[in-house]
Homo-oligomer: A and B are copies of this chain.
Amino acid sequence: MGIKGALAEKGFSDAEWLDSIDRVIARCMPESTRKQDRSRQREKEILRAAMRVFARDGLSSARISDIAAEAGIPISTIYEYYSGKEEIAHAVPVAHMCRFFQEYRALSEKKSTAYDHVWNYLHLSADFARRNPDWARSLYLEIWPSVSVAQGEIKELFDDYVRILIRAIRMGEVRGEWPAGHNHYETAAIMIGAVNQMIITWLMMRKPKDLSKSVAAMLDRAMILLDAVNPPPSRA
């Protein structure tokens, strides 16, 4: 493989790619400290209820009592599990984000180009939101971005999200799929921003009708900015 192969070994082999994702998954894997089975069940049920209520009413006007009613448990029991609305709001994204990374890991297992890694990552982001609309509404419309998230554990999660994309972009450079020289953060900002914008528009007005397809078409176009040496055919 010559130079390309040698560089690919320096931190950007397929194995190391999967490792880096595994590290993120390990970090966000929620380890319930609950001892009893019913309690672990309830913990999840509260989150599911909160997700629905946040998606319906918005974080600001959601009431603890509504979450309790939705979950079918007394209000005070909520406090047995979470210290308040703030903490619930923070737990909601974590709950599903890890599954997103897991799904992406599965996609990454088949040997792929860096182009595919980038494309799949961004496209899965949109498709995952489409398949989990309550979660997506809570996350994209209420919790991220939000002043309360600017510091803390969740910020780490979002940093990880960006980091993975940047790593894939660097992989493409190292492997010679596109030229070096562009600012990685800039490239990532354009791609993530464009995808988020489409997701948010879809969540707010169900337009475009087919989110997955529209994002696929948009990505085919946005990926031009990478100046790939051998751009693959459209996937849209």
B-binding residues in A (CB < 8 A)? 54-61, 85-86, 89, 137, 140-142, 145-150, 155, 182-183, 185-186, 189-190, 192-198, 200-201, 203-205, 208, 214, 217-218, 221-222, 224-225
Contact = CB atoms under 8 A, between A and B. Distances in A.
Nearest to A222: B190
Contact of A217 (B61, B137, B183, B221): B183
A220 to B, nearest CB: 10
A192 to B, nearest CB: 6
Given A146-B58, A147-B137, A148-B61, A194 B190 contact: yes
Copies in the complex: 2
A196 B194 CA distance: 9
A221 B60 contact: no
27 contacts: A55-B147, A56-B147, A57-B147, A58-B147, A58-B148, A60-B85, A60-B86, A60-B146, A140-B145, A141-B146, A142-B146, A142-B147, A145-B203, A145-B204, A150-B204, A182-B221, A186-B217, A189-B198, A190-B190, A190-B193, A190-B218, A193-B193, A194-B194, A196-B197, A222-B225, A224-B224, A224-B225
A54 to B, nearest CB: 8
A89 B60 CA distance: 10
Given A60-B60, A186-B221, A189-B218, 9 more contacts: A54-B147, A56-B147, A140-B145, A142-B146, A150-B204, A190-B193, A193-B198, A196-B196, A222-B225
A202 to B, nearest CB: 10
A58 B200 CA distance: 20
